[in-house]
Amino acid sequence: MEIARKTDYALRMLATLATDPAGVVSVREVARANGVPYSFARSIQHDLALAGIVENSRGANGGMRLAVDPREVTLLRLLEAVQGPLALCGCDAAGADGGPCERRGACGFNPIWCNAEAMLRSFFGSVTLWQVVEEGCVPRFTGGFELLRPQEGGAVTGAAGAPDKKDSHA
């Protein structure tokens, strides 16, 4: 997964709006404050409005303002509003007629991609716009991983999720 420039710009713009959630700010002002080309900012504004993230107003004092509570909207929702659904691989649509990959059930990598995607969704869903912008918080992974061995019916763990010594082949 790559965070697109459009998403980076959108998050910068939303950070500006989050500092005064009830205020209306012109797109030109937000674009200038965040180093976003104006025409690109207008396109982002349109997409954010379609996603229900911002509300637009016209006129001399027009602009945009947040339509969501920055204390409740997560980075996951914002990312998906701009980039579309978070996905690491196309296994669910790589098969015939856009269906799941025919090898998905027998593929040893599919569970890895699915778990990685779940971790990313959890990571981005664990922090709100307000927490990042106003509180300076960032989520941090502090856990480890388990290496599951289906043939043994158990899990083997080591330091920080590394395989234990009995798993060493190298």
Whether residues 96 and 167 share a domain: the answer is no
Q: Is residue 160 part of a domain?
A: yes
Nearest CA-CA partner of 147 in 163, 165, 166: 163
Whether residues 57 and 119 share a domain: the answer is yes
Q: Residue 50 and residue 61: Cα distance in Å, rounded?
A: 21
Whether residues 48 and 82 share a domain: the answer is yes
pTM for this entry = 0.76
CB neighbours of 84 closer than 8 A, spacing ≥ 6? none
Whether residues 148 and 128 share a domain: the answer is no
**How many structural domains comprise the chain?**
2
Q: Residue 60 and residue 166: Cα distance in Å, rounded?
A: 71
Q: Residue 165 and residue 170: Cα distance in Å, rounded?
A: 11
Per-residue pLDDT of the chain (170 residues; tens, 9 = 90+): 778 899 999 999 999 999 887 889 999 999 999 999 999 999 999 999 999 999 998 877 788 999 999 999 999 999 999 998 888 777 776 767 777 777 777 887 888 888 888 888 888 999 999 999 999 988 888 877 777 777 655 554 444 444 444 444 44
Whether residues 88 and 26 share a domain: the answer is yes
Helices (H), 3-146: 5-18, 27-34, 38-50, 75-83, 110-125, 129-133
Half-sphere exposure of 105 (CA within 13 A, CB side): 1
CATH value at residue 24:
1.10.10.10
> What pLDDT does 93 receive?
67
Residue 149 belongs to domain spanning? 144-170
